[in-house]
Amino acid sequence: MTRHLLQIYRILFEENGPQHWWPGETRDEVIIGAILTQNTNWSNVEKAITNLRKENLLSLHSLSKAAPDEVAKCIRPAGYYNQKAVRLIHISQQLYNYQIPPVKEDFRSFLLSLKGIGPETADSILLYAYELPYFVIDAYTQRLFNRLGIIADHARYHEIQNLFMQNLKPDIGFFNEYHALIVRHAKNHCRKQPLCKSCPLHELCQYYRNTFSEPI
């Protein structure tokens, strides 16, 4: 499996080149962006982040002291702004000055205990903000690796994550790049309505073989 996962990575890298993810100038900005990007696209998050920056609210410290309506006004472009404002403030209060414990799994458990943070958001924060080697699993990863025939239709988050983390070296930069390449590929080729014939992975893809193979 390790060889297969590395082969997929090499093909994606040769097709797309380095992605330079995650967008964010500071750790706090990455954390805030990871929360805001839930149920919306990144272009909307960028607008919300711009608004927060203008109001000097783009830090855990400033958000921890802010009023919900003040934050909601800034993050309106990201959707669910009243709910996200309350969660952003609470999460900022919990994370500001938080000391990461020696056992990183404890920190992940702490993040998951906060309302508004699920596994994908937690692992995005761990990988991109705190530079800890957790492979992020999202809908793009599920779709692509299901079509490739590597995971089952209803595989759970931890099962998919274990596929990567048990078969690849825990390299932060590599995990970062691999996930970014998956997202890029899913947007360009492995869409809900896939563009299979132009896909550089089609020779490895079970979905392609099942869809386009010639009947005997």
pLDDT in tens, the chain (216 residues): 999 999 999 999 999 999 988 767 899 999 999 999 999 999 999 999 999 999 999 999 999 999 999 999 999 999 999 999 999 999 999 999 888 777 788 999 999 999 999 999 999 999 999 999 999 999 999 999 999 999 999 999 999 999 999 999 999 999 999 999 999 999 999 999 999 989 999 999 999 999 987 554
Q: Which uninterrupted H or E stretch holds 18?
A: none
Residue 36: HSE in the Cβ half-sphere, 13 Å Cα cutoff: 31
pLDDT tens digits for range 97-137: 888 777 788 999 999 999 999 999 999 999 999 999 999 99
Q: H or E stretch including 141?
A: helix 139-147
Q: Domain locations in the chain? A: 2-20+135-206, 27-129
The hierarchical CATH code for the domain 2-20+135-206 is 1.10.1670.10
CATH number, domain 27-129, options 3.40.50.150, 1.10.540.10, 1.20.210.10, 1.10.340.30: 1.10.340.30
User: Which pair of structure tokens corresponds to residue 181?
Assistant: 């390449």
Same fold yes or no, 2-20+135-206 and 27-129: no
Residue 216 is predicted with a pLDDT of: 42
- Rounded Cα distance between 121 and 113, Å, is 12
pTM of the model: 0.92
The whole-number pLDDT of residue 20 equals 85
Q: Which of 55, 75, 77 is nearest to 65 (CA)?
A: 55
CA distance 138 to 199: 20
Angstrom distance (rounded) from CA 175 to CA 164:
9
